[in-house]
Each structure stands twice: as C-alpha cells, then as structure tokens.
Amino acid sequence: MRSNVKVTIGFCVKNSEATIREAVDSIIGQDFPHELMEVIVVDGHSKDNTVTIIRNAFLNSDIKVRFFQENKGLGIARQMVVDNADGDYIVWVDGDMVLARDHVSKQVYFMESNPRVGIAGGKFAMYPGENLIASLESIEWIVANYIHGKKASLKPILHMAGGCIYRVEAIREVGGFDRNINGALEDLDAEYRIGQLGWYTYFITDAVFNDRRRETFRAIWRENFWYGYGGHYFLHKYQRSISTSAFFAGLQRSIVAYKLTHRKIVFFLPLQYYFKKVAWYFGFLRAHLNGYGHSIGAP
C-alpha cells in the first residue's frame, strides 16, 4: 500500500446529539495515520447540540476538521464532501455509527489492493444492548452481508453509504451525487452510475462497523417512508419496477438468519419486512402525488 494515501471522512449529520460523541470517538480512535486523515462535517442545520459536541470532541485531536452546512438534503450534503475532499478515498460515517479501530485501515488496504473497485462496503456488526425491534433490523443487515458475500461474484449489489469507502476518482468521474435528490437513495443512485462506468462496487470487506438501528415501529415507519419517497425518484430515473415480494423475502431471510444466529426472534422478520414495505409504498405514493421524480434532470 502507498505510504501517502489520504483519506477523507465524510460526516453528514443532523440532530444526532444522542449518538454523535461515540461516532466521533470512533473516528478519533482510528489506527490509520491521523496526519493522512481529514474530516469534513456537513451539518443539516441541526437544532440540537450536534455541532457543538463534534467541535468539542475534536479540540484535542490531531485530525484536520472542516465544517459546512446544507439545508437541501443528502444529495447536496454528500456532494459538498466530494467537492472539498483532499483524500484519495472517502469513508462515509453517519451520526449513529461506530467504527472498529482498524475500519479505515482495512478499507484503504482493500481499495489499494483492488484499483478497479469504486466502492466497497464495510461489515455490519450488531450494537450491544439492542431491543427486539432494533435486533431484528440488525439481523437483517447481517443476513444481507452474508448473502451479498456469497453472491458477490455473481451480480452487483447496492450498499448504503454509511460504512462504505468511495474512490474519489470514481465518484468524480460520474459527476458526483445527484443534487436533485433531497430525500433518500442519493447513495444508491451514485453507486448505480459508478457501476455503469465499469467500476466494481459489489464487495464487502472485513472492516467492521456498527450502526444503531431504529428501536420503535414509529421510527422504522418514518425511515422507510423516507426511503419510499426517494425510491420514487430513483425508479423513475432508471425506469425500474417496484418489487412486491417483501413478505417472501423476509421469510427467505429469516431461514438464513436462523442458521446464522439460532435466535427464534428471526421468524418475526417476514412481518417486519411487510411493515417496512407498507411504509415504503406510502412514501412512494406521497412522492408520486407531490410530483417528485416526474421531471428528472441530469446530476
């Protein structure tokens, strides 16, 4: 691996005061050389103490930090990171994520060893002390990691940005993130376009992170409603159809989940999948009624 590889931590946050300090501490605790790291914080006009906590946490750190603000959504926020990044790679961290100490090192090593990889995902791990609802959400991610790892050589997969590493050359080659996206799926859109240009995007490395999953059905509804709203734009843009197999997908994954965890709670996965899909459809319908995605411009 080159000795002078630079890494930008893309830290897009909003109203995350309950979890942000642990996320920041996991960045500061990375074993990757701090002189080769920078953190770009893009805050979505938080109304709580998120930014203050971040500033105070980095006061005694030797990592360079820059702050920006946006109020038009994650498409704009992530593009602000891309526009200002000095790194060869961007590692995306959310406000409720915790990175293993060697997360950045492992991600960078993988990318340096595979120069045609544009994006690589991290390896999801459960957060300690989760309740039943959050545990099911985490188990779903673990199963997805397992299935994607088994099928990586067969077909592409799409990652969420958090925990992923992006090659800056690749994201800039496609023109960056779609600035018209003010809801969800800005990351899937960018990854789809990166893959279309011939970059490999379907790898999951051994770089571990955990992400605090939603702990109430209300929070899960809001999250998946948001995904459905963004999904309307995504599906219109790429002329894709809607999948209606949520219950059966949940059933299939519950069987895999039981083999991996031996926990009987996994058989609630089909119901949770169905609940999330209903929320997604409502979000999709709201976007349709609002006309979001009917007239789509270039990124």
Q: What is the C-alpha separation between 140 and 278, in angstroms, rounded?
A: 17
Nearest to 89 by CA among 167, 30, 175: 167
The verdict on 59 and 196 lying in the same domain is: yes
Give the C-alpha distances (Å, rounded to integers) separating 244 from 53, 145, 189.
42, 22, 21
| pLDDT value, residue 94 | 93
Long-range contacts at 233-237 (CB < 8 A, ≥ 24 apart): 233/180, 233/181, 233/183, 233/185, 233/287, 233/292, 233/293, 233/296, 234/185, 234/188, 234/189, 234/293, 235/293, 236/293, 236/294, 236/296, 237/178, 237/189, 237/293, 237/296
224 sits in which H/E element: helix 217-238
Residue 297 has pLDDT above 90, yes or no: no
The verdict on 148 and 260 lying in the same domain is: no
**Total domain count for the chain?**
2
The 3-state DSSP composition of the chain as helix, strand, coil percent (nearest 5) reads 50, 15, 35
Task: Give the lowest-confidence range in 46-60, 88-102, 132-146.
Answer: 132-146
The verdict on 117 and 250 lying in the same domain is: no
Ordered DSSP codes for 26-89: HHHT--S-GGGEEEEEEE---SSSHHHHHHHHTTT--SEEEEEE-SS-HHHHHHHHHHH--SSE
Query: Which of these three, 170, 185, 214, is where a domain ends?
Result: 214
CB atoms inside a 10 Å sphere around CB 97: 24
Q: Does residue 1 belong to any structural domain of this protein?
A: no
Nearest to 39 by CA among 17, 18, 23: 23
* DSSP helix/strand/coil, 110: helix
Nearby residues of 104 by Cβ (< 8 Å), 6 or more positions away? 7, 9, 30, 31, 32, 37, 91, 207
Query: Which of these three, 160, 179, 214, is where a domain ends?
Result: 214
* DSSP helix/strand/coil, 166: strand
Residue pair 99/30 in contact (Cβ under 8 Å)? The answer is yes
| pLDDT value, residue 263 | 84
Percent of the chain with pLDDT over 70: 88
Q: Does residue 2 belong to any structural domain of this protein?
A: no
Which two three-digit tokens encode residue 252?
């299939």
pLDDT in tens, 177-219: 998 887 788 998 999 999 999 999 888 899 999 888 778 889 8
| pLDDT tier at 158, thresholds 50, 70, 90 | low
Query: Which of these three, 192, 214, 236, is where a domain ends?
Result: 214
Q: What is the C-alpha separation between 150 and 106, in angstroms, rounded?
A: 20
Compute the radius of gyration of the chain from its Cα atoms: 19
Host domain of residue 227: 216-299
The verdict on 171 and 244 lying in the same domain is: no
For strand 37-43 and strand 7-13, is the pairing parallel, antiparallel, or unpaired?
parallel
The verdict on 71 and 31 lying in the same domain is: yes
pLDDT in tens, 51-93: 999 999 999 899 999 999 998 888 899 999 999 999 999 999 9
Nearby residues of 155 by Cβ (< 8 Å), 6 or more positions away? 202
Nearest to 32 by CA among 53, 66, 7: 7
Average pLDDT across the chain, whole number = 86
CB atoms inside a 10 Å sphere around CB 68: 15
Nearby residues of 241 by Cβ (< 8 Å), 6 or more positions away? 235
The verdict on 175 and 203 lying in the same domain is: yes
* DSSP helix/strand/coil, 259: helix
Global pTM? 0.87
Start-to-end CA distance of the chain, whole Å, equals: 33
The verdict on 172 and 281 lying in the same domain is: no
Which two three-digit tokens encode residue 131?
């309740």
